[in-house]
Chains A and B, each alone.
Chain A
């Protein structure tokens, strides 16, 4: 198995510089980082990849078995670190990928120089027993799955022939403009479940590598109190609240996001 091909890995930037590995979250692919990469490339070696099932990853490597829990993704990250052999990396995980970084760093701390958790949430669903508030209930997640389905159905007229079953004409799917976030509906459903139904709260306290928690000032998906929870649970972690709003600061406020990542990585050196 060629993991570089499997995860459509690209390595760029300053050779020999500190290694920054950028991991995209649920929804799109490594294009999510396009606004922060140019600035990071000046000082760092930048590793980009697509999770299996997303972007230009090898779809034949996807199986519901391996990727219906976070563990399959965590294994992929660790395999990438080993295979690329670039030394300890600073892993920047956005959204669900933040928890992949947490679990990977707990399993193999020596592979990581540091963790940047960008808009993280260890659990999206409220847990009344412990008083934890993730911001959502199980019905909300079902509703998201409904939205996913509706958009594979209603995703512009160009999709209609594809919907009606036209496997012999794959080019019909290629015409879509919204291709960065195009995912096989089956894969998207499974990844949505992994993202929104995982609970990694207990992993947080086990993190031993330097960690930056970077949350947005107003984020409908990962509210501020969730970021504060992550910060409180990870020993010695730092918390930065970005001015950026929404769930994707790397797109909404690329300069601010780049600055937060860069200053953290430089402080590690």
Chain B
């Protein structure tokens, strides 16, 4: 049904190209002639020696016309191909399968297909990666007549893509390595286990906001002189390796300073001095910390602990009493540690009775974004969780234990999902009731 008409139209295609080529020698003045000679505006020459391959075929793929560029790439003579070979004959076998199952159907359905990567097989068997674009030329009545195809040498591009793939894989490997490194470093900044304090139930949790960066939160609980314990929880300004260095310095300074003089004000004062000395240049580093000195009540019948807390610009501790009463323990006036030569440090003292629980946290928790979803510009809304919400949440928990409190906070953080954009540390201590009171 098709064949004959196509042959005629194919000749028309050839004649048309020649006719356009002839029109190159039109009348012109001397300058213009020179210019046009320089421009080589012979359509024939543009076709034959274009920097891409040209191919015209019948709808079934039989080759009607091919330019010199493509013949040179493939190492064929024109007569090897014209009327004898099909476009798919020039492809590798795998490419031919792809051509028949994807390329040809798409071309029929859309009238054009662009940028398909295929491999040509040259006369000597070598392969040439190309990018192929084809359009169907239709007659005046809209009937498809033949297929025009351009082929671009894609050797460089293929190499470039291979390089892209390789680079992406390498980047993925590097990212994994970085995450492992960050996780390891993070671990070294936190105590592997907290000291076991007789008569005290202790629990802590560290929430990592980004696997790619080391956060700046830290905490510890450790023995001091006979019968006393120190504990602290803090947050270094910033993230990454520089913050980790300060975290490490702060942590070991606090432990050493507490041995030298366990008075909480003195401990934070010494940390303030160390940070001032270390980072008094153009790169100030500071942190917020809460430090506590813990001593058991001397009267074994009463049980419980005394704790003196010193605050340096840190969010206040939360006290959840055995009777359910819950409130913050403010240390007003405490200043950031490491900024001023003589930071003011505020203290408060409290007795922890059996059934009481004390919670320390960093502001990653209260600064978490809680508005549902992202706004139109893909940014989180301005709604933060806040101190009041945390207080209300703690009131629903009290009375509680250290581990139950930390578990509840973990669940709470989970509900915030990616709204938690800063690391969060929590440390809870709880004085268990004597077994005789457990049933109440």
Contact = CB atoms under 8 A, between A and B. Distances in A.
A157 B115 contact: yes
B28 interface: no
Interface stretch (B39-47, B91-99, B299-307, B364-372): B91-99
Nearest to B95: A147
Contacts of B115: 154-157
Given A148-B98, A246-B100, A252-B108, A155 B116 contact: yes
Nearest to A222: B100
Interface residues of A, number: 47
Interface string B88-118: 1000111111101110111011101111111
Interface string A10-53: 00000000000000011110011010000000000000000000
Given A31-B109, A153-B117, A154-B115, A248 B97 contact: no
A247 B101 contact: yes
Contacts, number: 123
Given A144-B94, A144-B97, A153 B161 contact: yes
A63 B194 CA distance: 47
B116 A151 contact: yes
Given A155-B117, A164-B168, A252-B59, A181 B105 contact: yes
A194 B105 CA distance: 20
A262 interface: no
Contacts of B112: 177
Interface string A226-269: 00000000000000000101111001110110000000000000
Nearest to A251: B108
A195 B95 CA distance: 16
Nearest to A34: B109
Contacts of A178: 102, 106, 110, 113-114, 116
B1 A246 contact: no
Contacts of A180: 105-106, 109-110
Contacts of B88: 220
Contact of A245 (B60, B110, B164): B60
A27 B109 CA distance: 13
Interface in B173-205: none
Given A151-B117, A155-B116, 11 more contacts: A27-B102, A28-B109, A143-B92, A147-B117, A148-B98, A164-B164, A246-B61, A246-B100, A247-B100, A247-B101, A248-B104
Interface of B: 1-2, 59-61, 88, 92-98, 100-102, 104-106, 108-110, 112-119, 129, 131, 154, 157-158, 161, 164-165, 168
